[in-house]
């Protein structure tokens, strides 16, 4: 975390508002209804590990600072359409800002949690189509090659983000691992992976006890008492495996293409135990800047209170973007309706 924040401090010194004057306005024509008039909706905050407060920053400064970072993690709530529109804006403006300032002649990479490594053949086919088609490739083309409708991800709300990724010229990369492998790891734990694989992904290095306990507690809460506690250890290890695999893809992306942007759920971009932790274990000297999109709460106008925190109380992200809320059914009621409690 300290490494990532030191990068934030450094890049904040090197780029001025004047260098990013040509960015477009951030997207505040909200799709979500709840909280759209909240005083924090649409605001961007920088978090400091040594302070309890959050500092609001202007969009142009935010983009200027991100454009200097080699690795960026954009954390989303998957079903919030506004989060994907903001991600699209960040992708578009950050890559454009890098080009304006000649920060890199490389294309950059965008690594998607939503695209699995067993869909690589589809990505390769799309890349060939981009270079050979008589017209500009579209989101519909990409989704067709990936068989997106069978992926389990929403078929519409990712379109603005996928469009921005394609038009940016960046390389679209798969980040997640096949579902069958995740299920196997959740069942069998570390024995599902070879020693070489665990070492390569830095899974041979344990999380600190407090971080592991926090992960287990989060999983237990998310499953609403309908799963036996005996399942949580394997599920936590599967989460670690996914984080480590996403980190591996990000490192390959930045090494090959100069800059990497990760699109993933907020839990994956946590600085304390998510993808940034595995990047810090690697040989790369680059750190991930973690940006989390979070939903506003009625009656809460204190931005620092929205920050995820590690067991020591330090922020587990570098930036926050506050947005309205998606209206959704109670997840625990939905889960309990699908299966009876098996909690011992």
Mean pLDDT of the residues in the chain: 92
Q: What is the SS3 assignment for 295? A: strand
Whether the pLDDT of residue 148 is over 50: the answer is yes
306-335 mean pLDDT: 94
Of residues 336 and 123, the one with the higher pLDDT is 123
CA atoms within 13 A on the CB side of 13: 5
DSSP assignment of 281-310, as one string? HSS----EEEEEEEE--TT---GGGGS-B-
What is the value of pTM for the model shown?
0.91
Q: What is the pLDDT of residue 58?
A: 98
Percent of the chain with pLDDT over 90: 81
- Binned at pLDDT 50, 70 and 90, residue 333 comes out as confident
Task: Tell me how far apart the alpha carbons of residues 140 and 128 are, in angstroms, rounded to a whole number.
Answer: 15
Q: What is the pLDDT of residue 340?
A: 61
What's the token pair of residue 246? Answer: 């996403």
- Binned at pLDDT 50, 70 and 90, residue 338 comes out as confident
38-42, 80-84, 101-105, range with the lowest pLDDT: 101-105
Task: Tell me how far apart the alpha carbons of residues 9 and 310 are, in angstroms, rounded to a whole number.
Answer: 20
Q: What is the pLDDT of residue 185?
A: 98
Whether the pLDDT of residue 7 is over 60: the answer is no
Task: Tell me how far apart the alpha carbons of residues 330 and 141 are, in angstroms, rounded to a whole number.
Answer: 35
pLDDT digits (tens, 9 = 90+) for 178-212: 999 999 999 999 999 999 999 999 999 999 999 99
Q: What is the Rg, in whole angstroms, of the alpha carbon atoms belonging to the chain?
A: 20
Whether the pLDDT of residue 50 is over 80: the answer is no
- Binned at pLDDT 50, 70 and 90, residue 334 comes out as confident
User: What CATH number matches the domain at 2-8+35-338, 3.40.140.10, 2.60.40.290, 3.40.50.11550, 3.90.550.10?
Assistant: 3.40.50.11550
DSSP 3: H
DSSP E strands, the chain: 44-47, 54-57, 71-76, 109-116, 171-176, 260-265, 288-295, 319-323
**Nearest CA among 139, 138, 130 for reference residue 158:** 139
**Nearest CA among 173, 172, 175 for reference residue 245:** 175
26-32 mean pLDDT: 97
CA atoms within 13 A on the CB side of 132: 6
Count of Cβ atoms closer than 10 Å to residue 179 Cβ: 12
Whether the pLDDT of residue 294 is over 50: the answer is yes
Strands of the 109-116 sheet, one edge to the other: 54-57, 44-47, 319-323, 288-295, 71-76, 260-265, 109-116, 171-176
pLDDT digits (tens, 9 = 90+) for 167-176: 999 999 999 9
Percent of the chain with pLDDT over 70: 92
Whether the pLDDT of residue 298 is over 70: the answer is yes
Whether the pLDDT of residue 27 is over 80: the answer is yes
103-110 mean pLDDT: 85
Residues 110 and 263: beta-carbon distance below 8 Å: yes
Q: What is the pLDDT of residue 21?
A: 56
29-51 mean pLDDT: 95
Q: What angle do CA 6, 19, 291 make, to 5 degrees?
A: 40
Whether the pLDDT of residue 157 is over 50: the answer is yes
Domain boundaries, the chain: 2-8+35-338
275-281 mean pLDDT: 98
pLDDT digits (tens, 9 = 90+) for 118-147: 999 999 999 999 999 999 999 999 999 999
Residues 298 and 35: beta-carbon distance below 8 Å: yes
Count of Cβ atoms closer than 10 Å to residue 86 Cβ: 24
């Amino acid at each position: 975390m300290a490494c990532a924040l030191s990068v934030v401090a450094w890049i904040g010194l090197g780029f001025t508002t004047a260098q990013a004057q040509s960015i477009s306005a951030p997207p505040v024509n909200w799709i979500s209804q709840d909280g759209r008039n909240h005083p924090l909706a649409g605001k961007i905050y920088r978090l400091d590990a040594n302070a309890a407060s959050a500092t609001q920053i202007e969009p142009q400064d935010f983009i200027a600072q991100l454009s200097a970072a080699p690795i960026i993690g954009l954390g989303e709530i998957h079903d919030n359409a506004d989060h994907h529109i903001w991600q699209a804006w960040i992708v578009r403006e950050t890559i454009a800002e890098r080009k304006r300032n000649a920060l890199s002649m490389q294309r950059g990479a965008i690594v998607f949690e939503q695209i699995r490594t067993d869909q690589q053949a589809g990505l390769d086919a799309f890349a060939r189509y981009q270079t050979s088609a008589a017209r500009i490739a579209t989101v519909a083309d990409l989704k067709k090659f990936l068989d997106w409708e069978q992926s389990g991800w929403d078929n519409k709300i990712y379109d603005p983000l996928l469009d921005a990724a394609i038009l940016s010229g960046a390389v679209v990369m798969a980040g997640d691992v096949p579902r069958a492998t995740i299920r196997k790891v959740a069942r069998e734990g570390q024995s599902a992976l070879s020693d070489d694989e665990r070492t390569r992904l830095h899974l041979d290095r344990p999380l600190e006890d407090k971080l592991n306990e926090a992960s287990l507690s989060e999983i237990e809460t998310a499953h609403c008492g309908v799963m036996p506690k005996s399942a949580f250890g394997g599920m936590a290890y599967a989460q670690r495996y996914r984080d480590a695999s996403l980190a591996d893809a990000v490192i390959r992306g930045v090494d090959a293409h100069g800059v990497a942007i990760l699109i993933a759920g907020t839990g994956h971009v946590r600085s304390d135990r998510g993808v940034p932790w595995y990047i810090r274990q690697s040989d790369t000297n680059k750190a991930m800047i973690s940006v989390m999109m979070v939903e506003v709460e009625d009656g809460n106008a204190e931005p620092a209170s929205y920050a995820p925190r590690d067991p020591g109380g330090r922020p587990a992200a570098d930036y926050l973007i506050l947005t309205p809320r998606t209206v959704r059914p109670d997840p625990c009621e939905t889960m309990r309706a699908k299966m009876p409690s098996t909690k011992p």
